[in-house]
A and B are shown apart, each in its own frame.
Chain A
Amino acid sequence: MTPLGTPDSLLIIVPALNEEAAIAGVVREIREHVPGVPVLVIDDCSSDTTVAVARQAGAEVLPMPHHLGLGGCVQAGYKLAYELGFQYVIRVDGDGQHDARDIPRVYEKLKTTGCEMVIGSRFVADNGSRTGAVRALGIRFFRLVLRPVLGKEVHDPTSGFVGVNRRALDVFRQSFPLEYPEIEALVVLQRRRFRFEEVPCKMRPRTTGRSSITALKSLYYVLHVLLGIFVNVLKFDRRYHRAQRERGAGG
């Protein structure tokens, strides 16, 4: 897997944990709709045959030595992509919920706008994507919370269908939220004055396995993410103001 030295080199990363039933379909669909683009499945120490099935379907696999969680897996993919010199990375979930036909749109937006992150959003336009009532309420809540923090509306802050360019890769390989990374990653980028855009994408209902976010974990999720947002806002504001002061003192 090499970026072939091209300025537009793209890598698709697919974090997966026990997705033997879905991963082959995900990889094949990506290869069908984005031919010639390498697919890297990052296996979070699955206890089933995810690794073998993904390899058989034509993906490269980066197996983790032990369970790291979603953030740890995605960051490992970002680190490898940065080392190999890729310019763009698009993350697609391993459960088959993301439609690979949307990948070219995310990629195109990354290239044409020059923004650091593009989110595949279910809610930019009504595209028939549906989500549960509790989850929809949570998304609405975080949209309200994030509006003043990000300075602009983000329609689908919990989307895992995300594309980043090399500047964002450089940030994320050094610092990336390890648990529930989607929302916090947005704040990390915004505090560095990076830009993000959204493109309408379709999300399919999960066909195999279960979501990692159960009803019991929802409250913990909200508290964890709120704390993460708060900490990131404080951390980067302090650094930003310090840098401003030093710049002012320097002349």
Chain B
Amino acid sequence: MDRLLNVTTALSVILLVMVLVSVRRAHIRVEYSVSWLLAAAAMLILSRAHSLLNAVRNLIGLPDSPLTLFLLAGGVFLIMFFRFSVIVSHLRDNNIALAQRVAILEYHLQNLRNHESQEV
């Protein structure tokens, strides 16, 4: 069980470092990194603080601690994926509206140019 928790700790640390490096290099925006950092920190704390993990396990009524940890992590990541789906949907809508606007403005611009060249 300890080995499994150690692996979780290592994974949490790797995730934390990866997110921080990505933020520093501007590969990920700060507002989108917060949920990843929180999730990694929560996994790290739970995998190290055995008493806290046991308390959560008793509260949920699960047979062992690693299962509790993975269930919690799975739940958190599901919520995060849903949040990102919402963000992606919003971005797609904005992207389509922008593309339509660009196309319409280019159309007007082309018409103006044609009109000008005819006048000349």
A pairs with B: yes
- How many inter-chain residue pairs (CB < 8 Å) link A and B? 32
- Give the distance in Å from the alpha carbon of A65 to the alpha carbon of B106 in the complex: 10
The docked-state distance in angstroms from the alpha carbon of A177 to that of B104 is 19
CB contacts (< 8 Å) of A62 on chain B: these are 103-104, 107
The answer to whether A79 touches B100, judged by C-beta atoms less than 8 angstroms apart, is yes
B94 to chain A, nearest CB (A): 12
B100: chain A residues at CB < 8 Å are: 64, 68, 72, 75-76, 79
B49 at the interface (CB under 8 A from A): no
Residues of A within 8 A of B102 (CB): 65
**Set of chain B residues within 8 Å of A79, measured between Cβ atoms:** 100, 104
Interface status of A152 (Cβ within 8 A of chain B)? no
In the bound complex, what is the Cα–Cα distance between A178 and B100 (angstroms)?
Answer: 12
Main DSSP-derived SS at the A contact region: mixed
Cβ contact of A68, chosen from B99, B106, B107, B111, cutoff 8 A: B99
CB-CB < 8 A to B1: which residues of A?
A: none
The chain B residue sitting closest to A76, CB to CB, is: B100
A1 to B108, CA, bound (A): 10
Q: 1/0 per position for A34-75, CB-CB distance to B under 8 A?
A: 000000000000000000000000001011111010001001
A62 to B100, CA, bound (A): 9
Interface residues on B, range: under 10
> A72 contacts B99, CB within 8 Å?
yes
A80 at interface, CB cutoff 8 A: yes
Please, how many angstroms separate the alpha-carbon atoms of A142 and B103 in the complex? Answer: 34
Least CB distance, B6 to chain A, in whole angstroms: 43
CB distance B104 to A80 under 8 Å?
yes
Say whether A65 contacts B99, CB under 8 Å.
yes
The yes or no answer to B26 lying at the interface (CB within 8 A) is no
Q: Give chain B residues whose Cβ lies under 8 Å from the Cβ of A60.
A: 107
Is the C-beta of A83 less than 8 angstroms from some C-beta in chain B?
yes
Asked if B60 CB lies within 8 Å of chain A CBs, one says: no
B96 contacts which of A63, A68, A83 (Cβ < 8 Å)?
A68
Within 8 A of A (CB), among B7-55: none
Instruction: For the complex, give the distance between the alpha carbons of A66 and B97 in Å.
Output: 12
Chain A contact residues, CB within 8 Å of chain B: 1, 60, 62-66, 68, 72, 75-76, 79-80, 83, 178
> Which residues of B does A touch, CB under 8 Å?
96, 99-100, 102-104, 106-107, 111
